[in-house]
Amino acid sequence: MAKFELKYLGRQEYKTTWHYQQTLFQEALQAKKENRLVSNQIILVEHNPVFTLGKSADTNNILLSDNFLDAPVFRIERGGDVTFHGPGQLVIYPIVDLEHFNMGLRDYVFNMEELIIRTLDYFGLIGQRSKGASGVWLDVGEIGERKIAALGVKASRHITMHGIAFNINTDLSWFQKINPCGLQNKGVTSLAKELGETQDFKKIRLLVVEELNRIFI
């Protein structure tokens, strides 16, 4: 039996995918309560431009009024502060039962970051973790420290939703409208910016899928 079902949704409005996640999450919770097998699902998607706020996010980290954001804003159930999703960014949403994979929540967060770190390694980039901040970073502790993937999750009864967003060909100017993840004076980057040219999105998506298969075993 497959470890998980992978669904690539292409480009979707955020609200549509968010509601889809919620449905899968509630179905998984109900199955677990009834001692039925949970159907583990992993969604890969790009979004049209959108800003999302974690459940405890500070709205002051949105630096412009709604009239000047040029994208909708949603407050959602995940942890973390404000972030941006948009074209050229691969977002990975696992709706999985961590107990099926012998993982605790800390293991899961580590593994989701490791997924991006391993993918960056294909391109000769050294992805790192930054103390006190989730996600994947480059040049941690240096003046040019910058984030390439943002992570925010929700979990209940070891069932997860939300996930990690990997900037591949993302238009980084959107991040100038916010303090990304609530952090000031921290940079944001993309794979395209680091490598100096637009990247093959499909190729990188398939590399990510390879790493997902190594993690969720």
Cβ-contact 108, 176 below 8 angstroms: no
12-45 b/e with 16+ CB inside 10 Å = b? Answer: bebeebbebbeebbeebbeebeeeeebebbbbbb
Nearest to 36 by CA among 126, 124, 97: 97
Q: Which helix (H) or strand (E) holds 12?
A: strand 5-12
Q: Is 181 a catalytic residue?
A: yes
CA distances from 17 to 25, 48, 154 (A): 12, 11, 15
Q: Which residue type sits at 55?
A: K
Catalytic, out of 125, 181, 188, 208: 181
CA distances from 76 to 4, 52, 54, 133 (A): 25, 7, 5, 19
Query: Using CA atoms, how far apart are residues 77 and 28, in angstroms rounded to an integer?
Result: 16
Residues serving a catalytic function are 181
